[in-house]
Amino acid sequence: MEPDLSALGHLGNTSVVGLQWGDEGKGKIVDLLTGQFDYAVRWNGGSNAGHSVQVGAVKYAFHLIPSGILHPHCICVLANGVVIDPIQLVQEIDALAGQGLELRDKLRISSQAHVVLPHHKLQDQLSEGRLGNQRLGTTARGIGPCYADKALRAGALRMADLIDEDRLRSRLPVIVSEKNRLLQRLYDAEPLAWEPIFEQYRGCAEQLREHVCDTTDLLQEAWRNHRRLLFEGANAVLLDLDHGTFPFVTSSNCGTGLSAGAGVPGAALTSILGVAKAYCTRVGAGPFPTEQNNAIGEHLRQRGHEYGTTTGRPRRCGWLDLVALRYAVRVCGVTGLCLMLLDVLSGMDALRLCTAYRHAGRYTEGFPPDAYDLARAEPVYETLPGWSESLEDTTRRADLPANARRYLERIEAFVQTPIRMVSVGAARHQTMTC
Ligand code: GDP
Ligand code: IMO
Ligand code: MG
C-alpha cells in the first residue's frame, strides 16, 4: 500500500536535508517522493551516509547510491560534491543487481567527484586512534582525509582520472608515495604499494566508466527542460562543516552547499524539506545537550532501533531539542518539516522539549555556534503529556491522539515552520502528509 501524498500538492525542485545529527529518515522521505521526480541527486558526503529504505519486507541500506533508485523512471546522480569510494560503490551496484535492480541507464556519476583512496581510510583510522579520548568518532570511511586532499589539490584524484587508465597509472604512484611519506612519519604506518591499488581501482573503473559524465551539464539541461529534480542531502545540518558543532562534524557542507555540490543554483529550488526525528540521536562524539544517558535514552534506543546504518554503533538518544532544530531550519531555509519516528514516543507518560539553554548564568533561546559552549549549555525543558496509543496504523494527522497532535503543534509554533509529513513507521505507507 502506498501513502497518499496528494496533500503535498505539486512539489517543484526539492531539496531534502537532515536537520539534526544524521539518521533522521532522509532515505525514507527521498524514496517516497521520488515517484514525483525525474532525477534524484546526491551532492555531498560519501559512504559515511547510511540511508535506509524499507519496501514491504525488503530493507535497503544505501551509502552512495541515491535513495530514489527503486523508482524505475528516475535518473540517479552522484554530483561533484560527493566523495566516492569506488569499491563501496561497485559493491552497492552489485548488491542491487543481485536483487534484480539493473542500474545501467539510471546512474550518472560526476567526472569531477573526488575519489576516496585506501590511504584516506587508513589515515582516518590512524588519526582517530591517535586522538584517543579526543577522537571525533568518525565512520572511518576516509571522508575527512579525502575532502582535505581535495582542498589541498595536489594529492587528489577525481573520477575523470580514475576512468582514464593512463592518467590513473601516472597519478597514483606519485599520490601514494607522497601519502606514504606523511603516514610513515606521522603514524609509523607501513607504506602502501601503489600497484595493488592500481589493479583494484582499475577493476572498479571498468564497471563505473559507463556511468561517468558531466553531471553539472546534465542537471543544468534537465532544469532548463523543466525536468523535476530532487536533491538528497547526506549527513545533517548539525554535522555541517561550517554550521555544525565543529569540530564534531563531517567534512562537507550538509544543509548548506547544494549549489556547490550539484552545480545547480539554490534559486532552482521551490521546496526545502527538513527531516527531523521526534526526538534526537547522535552517533560519534560531540555535544548533545538533551542526551539521556539513562533509562529514557535506552528506551528510545530500543524502541527506535537506534543503531547506526553505516557502522552499527548504538546511537546516543535524547529529547527533541527545539533550539537546535530552529537553528537548523533557519540555516537551510526549510519550507516544510518531515517529522519522523513519532511512533517511538508512544507509551511515555511525559515528553520533554528543550526550548532554551542556560549557559554561563544566562538564559538563551539561541544555538551557540561553538561546541565548547554547547557542551556546557544546560537545556531548559517544557513538558507535554504523552500518549499511550500505538500510531503505526494512523494515516491522517487528524486521527492522531490529541496529545500527539499537541506535540506536533508545539514544534510548529516554536520552529515557525509547518510539518508537511509525519512518519509513524519505517514502511512507505506509515506516512501522513499535511
Ligand atoms: P537517514 O540516514 O536519514 O536516511 O536515516 P537512517 O536510514 O540512517 O535511519 C533512520 C531509521 O529509522 C531507518 O532504520 C528507517 O528505516 C527508520 N525509520 C524511518 N522512519 C521511521 C518511522 O517513522 N518510525 C520508525 N520506527 N522507524 C523509522
Ligand atoms: P546519514 O546521511 C549519522 C558523523 C559520524 C561522526 C562525524 C564525522 O546517514 O544521516 P565522518 O565519517 O563523516 O568524518 O564522521 O559525523 N556522521 C554521521 N552520523 N549519520 C550520518 O549520515 C553521518 N555522517 C557522518 O558519526 O560523528
Ligand atoms: Mg543514516
For ligand 1, whether the C-beta of 341 sits within 6 Å is yes
Residues 203, 219, single domain; the answer is no
Lowest-confidence region among 4-8, 183-187, 271-275: 4-8
**pLDDT (mean) for 378-386:** 98
Per DSSP, the residues of 141-170 read SSHHHHHHHHHH-TT--BHHHHT-HHHHHH
17 three-class SS: strand
Q: How far apart are CA 316 and CA 293, in angstroms?
A: 8
Residue 95 counted as domain residue: yes
Query: Are residues 301 and 184 part of one domain?
Result: no
CB 109 within 8 A of CB 211: yes
Query: Is the CB of residue 284 below 6 angstroms from any atom belonging to ligand 2?
Result: yes
Going by C-alpha positions, the residue among 227, 212, 236, 229 that lies closest to residue 263 is 229
Same-domain check for residues 205 and 222: no
284 with 325, same domain: the answer is: yes
**Above pLDDT 90, what percent of the chain?**
93
DSSP code for 291: B
Other C-beta atoms closer than 10 Å to the C-beta of 167 total 14
Give the end of a domain, one of 170, 186, 211: 211
| Predicted pLDDT of residue 193 | 98
334 is a domain residue: yes
Q: Looking at the domain assignment, is residue 33 inside a domain? A: yes
pLDDT of residue 40: 98
Given a cut of 80, whether residue 310 has pLDDT beyond it is no
1 domain residue, yes or no: no
Check which CATH number belongs to the domain holding 300 and give it.
Answer: 3.90.170.10
Same-domain status, 249 and 261: yes
Residues 183 and 219 in one domain: no
Residue 142 lies in a domain: yes
Phi and psi angles of residue 107, each rounded to the nearest 5 degrees, phi first:
-105, 130
> How far is it, in rounded angstroms, from Cα 72 to Cα 65?
14
Residue with cell 580514475: 162
The boundaries of the domain holding residue 175 are 114-211
Residue whose CA is closest, atom 18 of ligand 1? 426
Q: Which helix (H) or strand (E) holds 357?
A: strand 350-359
Q: Is the CB of 297 under 6 A from ligand 1?
A: no
Starting from the CA of residue 277, give the closest ligand.
Answer: 1
Looking at residue 1, what is its pLDDT?
Answer: 72
Both 46 and 80 in a single domain? Answer: yes
281 and 226 within one domain: yes
Report how far residue 248's alpha carbon sits from residue 239's, in angstroms, rounded to the nearest whole number.
7
* CATH number assigned to the domain comprising residue 125: 1.10.300.10
Q: Assess whether pLDDT exceeds 80 at residue 377.
A: yes
**CA of residue 186 to ligand 1 center, whole Å:** 39
Answer yes or no: is 2 within a domain. Answer: no
CB distance 144 to ligand 2 below 6 Å: yes
Give catalytic residues, as residue numbers.
23, 51
Residue 173 and residue 103 share a domain: no
pLDDT tens per residue, range 252-288: 999 899 999 999 999 999 999 999 999 999 998 999 9
- Nearest-CA neighbor of 387 among 350, 340, 431? 350
| Any atom of ligand 2 within 6 Å of the Cβ of 252 | no
**Statement to judge: residues 139 and 257 lie in one domain:** no
Domain count, the chain: 2
Is there a domain that residue 52 lies in? yes
| Ligand 1 pocket test target in 16, 339, 340, 343 with most atoms within 8 Å of CB | 340
Give dist(CA 423, CA 183) in Å, integer. Answer: 46
What does the block give as the cell for 42? 546526491
Closest CA to 381 of 413, 358, 406, 348: 358
Does residue 422 sit within a domain? Answer: yes
Predicted local distance difference test score (pLDDT) of residue 293: 96
Give the number of whichever ligand sits closest to the CA of residue 252: 2
Residue where a domain stops, chosen among 166, 183, 211: 211
- Please determine, for residue 145, whether its predicted confidence score (pLDDT) is greater than 90: yes
Nearest bound ligand to CA 51? 1
Q: Is the pLDDT of residue 93 over 90?
A: yes
Strand 350-359 versus strand 378-385 pairing type: antiparallel
Please tell me whether residues 98 and 130 are part of one structural domain. Answer: no
For cell 503535498, name the residue. Answer: 8
Half-sphere exposure (Cβ direction) of 428: Cα atoms closer than 13 Å: 22
Please check whether residues 253 and 186 belong to one and the same domain. no
Q: How far apart are CA 392 and CA 431, in angstroms?
A: 9
Domain end marker among 161, 195, 211: 211
How many residues does the structure list for the chain?
A: 434
Tell me the best of 341, 395, 433 to mutate to test the pocket of ligand 1, counting ligand atoms within 8 Å of each CB and taking the most: 341
- Is the Cβ–Cβ distance between 25 and 275 less than 8 Å? yes
